[in-house]
Amino acid sequence: MPRTWLITGCSGGFGKEISKAALALGDNVVATSRNESKLADLAESGVHTVSLDVNAPQKDINAVVAEVISKYGSIDVLVNNAGYILEGGVEEASDEEARAHFDTNVFGQLAVARAVLPYMRAKKSGTIANMGSIAGWRGGINCGLYCSTKFALAGITEALKKEVQPLGISVVLIEPGYFRTDFLSGGHKVTPKKTIEDLVPVIKPLKDMFSMYDHKQPGDPVKGAQLIVEALTGTGRCAGRQLPDRLAIGSDAVAMISGVLEHKKKELDDWKDLAVTTDISD
């Protein structure tokens, strides 16, 4: 029996490629975007397309999910993929810009999960994949706010996994490295209106690197999407494997995360002798 997928942020990149890979399995795929017209090619291929703004009021998101349930009877896999990068210094981002970033990258994912989870709980089955990033492992110059949204998603996803696992629901954080999509350009990347001259010497080299790296990233989004679909369905190369809390995608992701873990372990060991002296002496 075919599964039903609900995937957000499908106008390009991973959202579009995951939709194609899931459809190739013979599953029902519901692809969403704020602008449904950007999904015309997916609609022509047999994907059901819907307009969905993850920043819309909860009742509107609930209504979209209810329509999907009415059409297909269930949502078996939710992929929370919608998001963008706010590029710039932490201090440069205004309160409005920072909150808007969290609204899409964090609270938008929470809102869609809230709408879908009651149906998964009723069936005692389902899989939720939140789209994180290797940015959720280390805060970086020029992308600190973006990193912070991915750190937040890591905590939310790990907690949610533990809460709903006894109910038969799987939850995983997908953490891609750099893949050759439009994520570093176009409408997926915005910059703060404010520039702080004191920060330019630190930030500009990273900003230039992002620009030079655009469309030269090592990851193939088609291959990445295929692995994600196999992992979420337990098919192909992932048959018999249990989903991890955080699934790294890309050789650069594996290398970077390994380096972060080694560095953090060293820092912990370097300060352990003092850290353990702070307990109450009973």
Residue 178 is a catalytic residue: no
pLDDT digits 0-9 by tens, 22-79: 999 999 999 999 999 999 999 999 999 999 999 999 999 999 999 999 999 999 999 9
Q: Is the pLDDT of residue 213 over 70?
A: no
Tell me phi and psi for residue 176, to 5 degrees: -75, 155
* Domain residue limits at 12: 4-278
Q: Is the pLDDT of residue 219 over 90?
A: no
pLDDT band at 249 (very low <50, low <70, confident <90, very high): very high
Nearest to 211 by CA among 92, 102, 85, 106: 85
pLDDT digits 0-9 by tens, 262-279: 999 999 999 999 999 999
pLDDT digits 0-9 by tens, 1-27: 899 999 999 988 899 999 999 999 999
Number of domains in the chain: 1
pLDDT at 209: 77
Residue 95 belongs to domain with CATH number: 3.40.50.720
Arithmetic mean of pLDDT over the chain: 93
pLDDT at 160: 98
Q: Is the pLDDT of residue 183 over 70?
A: no
> Considering 72, 84, 119, 146, which one is annotated as catalytic?
146
> What pTM was computed for the model?
0.93
pLDDT digits 0-9 by tens, 89-139: 999 999 999 999 999 999 999 999 999 999 999 999 999 999 999 999 999
pLDDT digits 0-9 by tens, 149-179: 999 999 999 999 999 999 999 999 999 988 7
Partners of 173 in beta bridges:
130, 246
Rounded Cα gap, residues 217 and 212, in angstroms: 10
Rounded Cα gap, residues 149 and 126, in angstroms: 24
For residue 88, give Cα distances in angstroms to 112, 148, 204: 28, 13, 9
